[in-house]
Amino acid sequence: MLPFLFFLIALFSEIVGTIAGFGSSVFFVPLAGFLFGFHEVLALTSILHVFSNAAKLVFFGRHVRLRLLLLLGIPSVLCVIVEAYLSTKVEFKFTELILGFFLVAFSLFFFFNPAAKLSQNGSNAVVAGGIAGFLAGLIGTGGAIRGLALAAFDLGKGVFVATSAAIDSGVDFSRMIVYLRSGYLTREFYWFIPGLLSVAFVGSYIGKFALDKLEQKTFRKIVLLLIFVIGVTTLGRFFEQFIR
């Protein structure tokens, strides 16, 4: 029963993540966390994302913007390596609180101010990429931060998804190596890998089909609403530990 539920969660996360344009981990990590341990979820998430990024580049690769990819991607990869390593040595207690408040505040701002845009300059892209990579290594998902930045840049649907997937390729491969070398994935989970490959391509294809039907304004609103939900969920998980 658990494996079936796990792959159902993975497929749902992949479909919604493709539509949102910033990957499945923001949905997959908290949901899969109810089934397996934190370290196993981090490792499985990184593997799912490596396959997912490959699928998205197959479907959306022609839309990649090289300059934005480099400005966001290089600091993301460097920061995720550093923080993925730190996560094996140090426990951080207030990351979810900070992340939750940040996502809620900024998603609401851009949702109710549709004309507001973030300048697509080098410094904004580098900072957003570094923060997203840092959070990806720390709690297993930095896609919401990068998604917020890309939404603020007001990119087209194809460019949004393709650029995010291309950046994630380096980020997720890097953290996958760190997690696997740290022993986060035990042998009992090895058979999950082929299933994750299938889920990545099927979910990405279904997500692409849905995305083709959406208008640009609707797409941006969906992204911001999903980020808001992620922020509220993140805050809920943080405060839940004090209620228990």
CA gap 57, 83 in Å, rounded: 26
pLDDT tens sequence across 62-82: 887 778 778 877 887 777 777
> What is the pLDDT, as a whole number, of residue 47?
92
CA gap 116, 109 in Å, rounded: 9
Percent of the chain, pLDDT > 70? 81
Q: What is the DSSP letter of 93?
A: S
Average pLDDT value for residue range 206-222? 82
Q: Where are the domains of the chain?
A: 2-243
Average pLDDT value for residue range 199-204? 92
Comparing 145-149, 166-170, 226-230, 234-238, which segment has the lowest mean pLDDT?
145-149
**Could you give the residue ranges of the DSSP H alpha helices within the chain?**
2-20, 25-32, 38-60, 66-87, 95-112, 122-139, 143-152, 157-181, 192-211, 216-243
Banded model confidence at residue 188, pLDDT cuts 50, 70, 90: confident
> Exposed e or buried b for every residue in 3-29, given b needs 16+ CB within 10 A?
eeebeebbbbbbbbbbbbbbbbbbbbb
In the predicted structure, residue 97 carries a pLDDT above the cut 90: no
> What is the pLDDT, as a whole number, of residue 224?
81
Torsion region of 183: left, alpha or beta (phi above 0 gives left; psi -120 to 50 gives alpha): left
Torsion, CA 207, CA 213, CA 218, CA 223, rounded to 10: 10
Q: What is the DSSP letter of 62?
A: G
Average pLDDT value for residue range 23-38? 76
CA gap 97, 135 in Å, rounded: 12
Percent of the chain, pLDDT > 90? 8
CA gap 125, 123 in Å, rounded: 5
Q: pLDDT higher for 142 or 194?
A: 194
